[in-house]
Structure 1
């Protein structure tokens, strides 16, 4: 359910695909392109960076949600086609991938506690946004999927893979990525993708139940504790190569695009 009857245009007048609502020390950020399933676009990444890149020290909790029936259906694949049309070497994909990593890092490293509120589908990039948050609650109808391999793409968006390995474990992640199967909210809790599952109508109440005690914590201690948690998590991901995500994605997509455009080279008939 959406917590935003009207857009907050007072503090962020330039926002087109997000809605923000500041309620005391809690900032609500809603992905707001429900007609497109809140698919992640270049414009959405730019606006998320606009909101997250310069943290307000008075904000103690950030709630990330999606408008409509689904949290986020993943990345906008039509933009990949447009990027390749403009630059077949994948330059646009690299730029977008760098922004994606910055957005996810901004959620993870934000001094405020970040809470993902998930209903419906969270696919690919949508799942990456969820995992970048500190606390994650899902509706009973929430489902998750990593379809990248089926789409001919690597699991290389926003640092998703190292976060998955850290939170879920390599054996289960391997199965989810190779099969591309969907999993429901209750399995997501067992996998540590979610912390809690509630009826959809109770999502706001579940978020508030987390936010209330967080807001009572001394701000200095809370910031330091979150920094410590992030530092120890990073230490467990010493082989994190997510800085290369944009290069990997661009290389694979550009190579596949070239292969389709030159089928004779793919089959070995070079002349």
Structure 2
């Protein structure tokens, strides 16, 4: 078994903290001073850890350090990309990284669990939705503010997963208004499967882990693959492969529209 400290040193993680205990791998977003905002460095770290995941891992827990799970994408990084290349090539590349990370979580042979607390915004919602099981504290809040920022809901395949879980009508309302919603509403929309008081969050995660790691590994992998297959069939019109292009075009156009005239 890889020692967590050795793994972090081996792949030089800058934005994550990882811990491996038997068949359970915990990945913690670890830039709390920035609200665990998703940067390209974080996406690269996540992909590196998931690519190096050992075959015997049966559960992957995704968590966030500090007061919030994840405050979304780092908009200052998008601005820097546009300053270097107004056509949006940097944003397209970032979008492809986001898609690969979310697909790696969803398609992971292990069961993935999102452990959510505080705020989950934009990309933070997408990362949670890419996981099989999602639990949050009853004080957690969620928001999709992309439209108000001049962006499409196009990050990591978020839209298709959101509609698949919450339904088109409710997804439409939450995306178009960008309003914040609480954990109980997220539970009612099937965006979460469990809501607990903050002191019980780790216990809730453990109540899922214990029976999962007792399951025969081969049967678990096959069942996970079958569940993913049926979910994919329900999203036959998924256009999220276009997400990077849509994001780059929208950000570039919004920047041009906001630029003061000469």
Scaled by the length of structure 2, the TM-score of the pair is: 0.96
Bigger Cα Rg? 1
Give matches, 1:31-110, under 5 Å. 31-110=29-108
What's the C-alpha RMSD, in Å, of the aligned pairs? 1.2
- Which of 70-79 and 51-60 deviates more? 51-60
- Alpha-carbon distance in 2 for matches of 1:253, 1:15: 29
1:160, distance to aligned residue in structure 2 (A): 0.1
* Cα distance in structure 1, aligned partners of 2:132 and 2:261: 46
> Using the alignment, how far apart are the partners of 2:161 and 2:151 within structure 1?
18
Residue 5 of structure 2 is aligned with which of 4, 9, 14?
9
Q: Deviations over 1:101-153 (max 9, x none)?
A: 00000000000000000000000000000000000000011100000011111
- Checking the alignment, whether the CA contact within 8 Å between 1:55 and 1:111 is kept in structure 2 is no
Deviation at 1:158, TM superposition (A): 0.2
In 2, Cα distance between the equivalents of 1:11 and 1:53? 12
Partner of 2:158: 160
Q: Which moved more, 1:55-64 or 1:29-38?
A: 55-64
- Which residues in structure 2 correspond to 1:116-131 (within 5 Å)? 116-131=114-129
| Partner in structure 1 of residue 190 of structure 2 | 192
- Structure 1 residues not aligned, in runs of 5+: 1-6, 265-271
8 Å Cα contact 1:55/1:110 also seen in 2: no
Distance 1:63 1:187 in 2: 23
Counterpart mapping for 1:170-181 below 5 A = 170-181=168-179
Q: Does 1:240 align with 2:238?
A: yes
CA distance in 1, matches of 2:34, 2:4: 21
Q: How far apart, CA to CA, are the structure 2 residues paired with 1:75 and 1:262? A: 25
1:166-216 CA-partner distances (Å, limit 9, x unpaired): 011000000000110011011110000100011111111111100000001
Select 1:146's aligned residue among 128, 144, 147: 144
Q: 2 CA distance for matches of 1:260 and 1:132? A: 33
Residue 4 of structure 1: aligned partner? none
Distance (Å, rounded) in 2 between the aligned partners of 1:32 and 1:155: 25
Task: Give 1:263 deviation, angstroms.
Answer: 4.1
1:262 is displaced (CA, Å) by 6.3
The runs of at least 4 consecutive aligned structure 1 residues that moved more than 6 Å come to none
- Structure 2 portions without partners, runs of 5+: none
C-alpha contact 1:157 1:246 (8 A) present in aligned 2: yes
Superposed displacement of residue 261, structure 1: 3.0
Which of 207, 210, 213 lines up with 1:209 in the alignment?
Answer: 207
Aligned length: 258
